Amino acid sequence: MPGYRVLVILACVVGICSCQRLEAAQLFSFSAASSGWYTEDGKHNPGNENYLVGDDGDDGLETRNYFIFDLAQLVVPAGKTVVSASLSLDTYTYLSPYPTEDYALFDVSTPATALDSDTLNIATYADLGTGVSFGVRTYSAADTGFVRTINLTPAAFVAIRQAAGGQFAIGGRITTLDGQRATGLETDEIIFGFSELGVRRLDVVVDVPEPGGWMMLGMIVALCGVRRRSRRIRAEWVFRPFGA
């Protein structure tokens, strides 16, 4: 019976620790406040939230895209941090002569207000496809018409944490363009073609390691082992045959 009571106590501790862990994690979801694109000659239409990215073979200009999120509701209490983040996007259309294209995400240093309002800025175009890597995903024709999720990097976690309460911007470009402009053999290499205001969602998980509860559990498990061993030793001593 004592052993049964120990198991019950152990189960309760496991439950308490599990509940603490579940309560510690919190998911925040944000729809994009805005999105858009810049072509490599710096052109941008502030009223167009299409987030096409790639190379339009008709004009021979690469296009990079961006997304802006309002993180006013993101709360990261002291001692906690962003432990996971992902960007989910409606693919709309994949158009390329190649079976796959790699879409990469980067940090953006251009202020969100300027990013969304400028009509001509080559420096902003460059900013959207360079800098710190925030994630990458390989796309194919099979993604057309579906929402796909890109897991962000730890560097993005830090940037999101720093942007809590304000605005967070992320830029993107296709890193596998064939670069055949000089040959005149260009073809379309596009992702998110004809995109509109579909799913453009940033999911952020805020959590904190809670080693205290699990240390307690480990101590209880160890204690149970010690008690069982001591009982076995006492039993062996009490029932040991005389002269053994």
For the chain (244 residues), the mean pLDDT of every run of 10, in chain order, is 52 49 79 96 93 84 96 93 97 95 98 93 97 98 98 98 97 89 68 91 85 49 50 47 50
Report the predicted TM-score, pTM, of the whole model to 2 decimal places.
Answer: 0.77
Q: What is the pLDDT of residue 137?
A: 98
- pLDDT at site 237: 45
pLDDT at position 197, please? 80
Q: Are 67 and 170 in contact (CB under 8 A)?
A: yes
pLDDT digit string (tens) for 31-65?
A: 999 999 999 999 999 989 999 999 977 677 899 99
pLDDT for 20 equals: 47
Q: Are 202 and 66 in contact (CB under 8 A)?
A: no
Per domain, the residue ranges of the chain are 2-22+211-238, 32-207
Residues 6+ apart with CB under 8 A from 52: 37, 63, 65, 190, 191, 192, 193, 194, 195
Q: What is the pLDDT of residue 235?
A: 45
Q: What is the pLDDT of residues 147-166, one digit of tens each?
A: 999 999 999 999 999 999 99
Specify the pLDDT at position 208: 74
Residue 196 pLDDT: 81
